[in-house]
Amino acid sequence: MAELRWNPLLQDWTIVASHRQNRPQMPKDWCPFCPGSGKVPDDYEVHKYDNDFPALSQEPPVPDAVGSEFYKSAEAYGKCEVILYSPEHNKSLSQLPKEHIRKLVDLWCERFEELSKDEKIKFIFLFENRGEEVGVTMPHPHGQIYGYSKMPLKLQTELNSSRDFYKANCQCLICRMNKEEESFKERIIMENEDFMAYLPYFTDYPYGIFITSKQHRNKIIDFSSREKDSFAEILQAVTGTFDSLFDKPFPYMMNIHQGPVNSPEYEGHEDYYHFHVEFYPPLRSKEKIKYYASSEMGAWAACNPASVEDTAMELREAYKRYLNKNK
């Protein structure tokens, strides 16, 4: 069973996907994403794979008849895709050459263009979960794409905040954030010609880096060829810096935020919403997890247990080690 259920307290939809409980436990000596598995091409560099157990589907089942006029339900319409980064089972994003990551960026753009043709899809969300600490059971390097037919609440909030700021200031909110960070300097971890990576002033994760485009860009498909190369470069550098921080594979949730599609209610978002990547790394030290506990989850009262400026300094030192290691 897969359906959407309306939460009247938050005015948001919950995805109910109980069929995902039936996902099989993969044998330790077999991976469906490796060449030779019979599930993927024997020869690929990057590859789109339709999720075998999707939470959202373009042919969704009819919702269970347990709702009411008050407790609304809707079809779990959308698309769930797996994006394979490499045929090499033990590679990570940071270990892939920049030229290879550029091919991944091109595939993201290709899938964005294709999914946006479905007028029922409102937001195309690119993301990666890495590490057992965030529940990953498949170590093969991969990310995912969700095409949502209902705009999730957090994305609505970002869009609304950006629109309100633009109306009040005639300025993009993240362009302003970039200026603040450039002025202060101490939270910037790295930058290249087209992108910058910094710990935002307000981050609730000790090592929660944002990557933002320096020029105002709304979607990944708006990047020039040079910007796509620069994006591949900074993705490699940020994830490599994470691995250098504690000298071990670093877990994270990577989320790519960009403009919506097929959403007339957000007319003009190209002017006020700005492409960026948000990282949520669950470590607060080498061996300690930063948990989202009762106050964070129950009240949405974010709490960062570390000084942002101090952890920014740690990350800059890790970035130097990453650069020295890769000379």
Q: Which among 252, 160, 147, 148 has a CA at the least distance from the CA of 197?
A: 252
Whether 25 maps to a domain, the answer reads: no
Cα separation of 112 and 106, whole Å? 10
Contact by Cβ (8 Å): 44, 23: no
Whether 227 maps to a domain, the answer reads: yes
Whether 183 maps to a domain, the answer reads: yes
Whether 20 maps to a domain, the answer reads: no
Cα separation of 27 and 229, whole Å? 37
Whether 22 maps to a domain, the answer reads: no
User: What residues form DSSP beta bridges with 2?
Assistant: 17
- Predicted confidence at residue 19, as pLDDT, reads 56
User: Which one from 100, 140, 142, 216 is the annotated catalytic residue?
Assistant: 142
- Predicted confidence at residue 18, as pLDDT, reads 73
Q: How many domains does the chain have?
A: 1
- Predicted confidence at residue 137, as pLDDT, reads 85
Q: CB-based burial of residue 65 (10 Å sphere; 0-12 exposed, 13-18 middle, 19+ buried)?
A: exposed
Q: Hunting for tokens 């394979």 — which residue is that?
A: 84
Whether 21 maps to a domain, the answer reads: no
In this structure, what CATH number is given to the domain that contains residue 290?
3.30.428.10
Tokens of 253: 């949730």
Domain range for 272 is 2-14+32-325
Residuewise pLDDT in 10s, the chain (327 residues): 789 999 999 999 999 987 545 555 666 778 999 999 999 999 999 999 999 989 999 999 999 889 999 999 999 999 999 999 999 999 999 999 999 999 999 999 999 999 999 999 999 999 999 999 999 988 999 999 999 999 999 999 999 999 999 999 999 999 999 999 999 999 999 999 999 999 999 999 999 999 999 999 999 999 999 999 999 999 999 999 999 999 999 999 999 999 999 999 999 999 999 999 999 999 999 999 999 899 999 999 999 999 999 999 999 999 999 999 988
Q: Give me the sheet containing 78-84, strands edge to edge.
A: 47-50, 78-84, 142-148, 123-130, 252-257, 276-280, 210-213, 195-198, 188-191
- Predicted confidence at residue 187, as pLDDT, reads 98
Whether 19 maps to a domain, the answer reads: no
Return the SS3 of 129. strand
* Share in percent of the chain as helix, strand, coil (round to 5): 35, 20, 45
Residue 142 is among the residues annotated as catalytic for this protein:
yes
Whether 23 maps to a domain, the answer reads: no
Torsional sign, CA 149, 261, 151, 289: positive
